Amino acid sequence: MNLSSEHFDPDMPYWQDYLPYLKQLAGTGFPGCGQLNGLLKPGLQSHGGHAIRFVPSEQLDDDGYEHRIYT
């Protein structure tokens, strides 16, 4: 993956923990949900037992986001 673009600056401190994973991905743009989900351990769950996965933001109703991710 191309780790440099106008929307992504890999030198910013908040990306440092993610860079080893992002560097594993192919392509020239920021990874999609499918690629990111491929990096997750099978069966990964929240403390509440819900599957952890990446989904496109347009599929989400952002009302209640915090409730959804913490329960």
pLDDT digits (tens, 9 = 90+) for 9-58: 888 899 899 888 888 887 777 788 998 999 899 999 999 999 999 988 77
Instruction: Note whether residue 1 is domain-resident.
Output: no
Instruction: Note whether residue 8 is domain-resident.
Output: no
Domain extent for 40: 13-70
Q: Which two tokens stand for residue 51?
A: 């599957």
What confidence tens digit (pLDDT) does each residue in 32-46 have?
Answer: 899 899 989 999 999
Instruction: Note whether residue 61 is domain-resident.
Output: yes
Q: Is the dihedral of CA 46, 48, 54, 57 positive or negative?
A: negative
Q: How far is CA 55 from CA 15, 37, 66, in A?
A: 20, 9, 15
Average pLDDT, the chain: 81
pTM for the model: 0.58
Q: Which two tokens stand for residue 55?
A: 């989904």
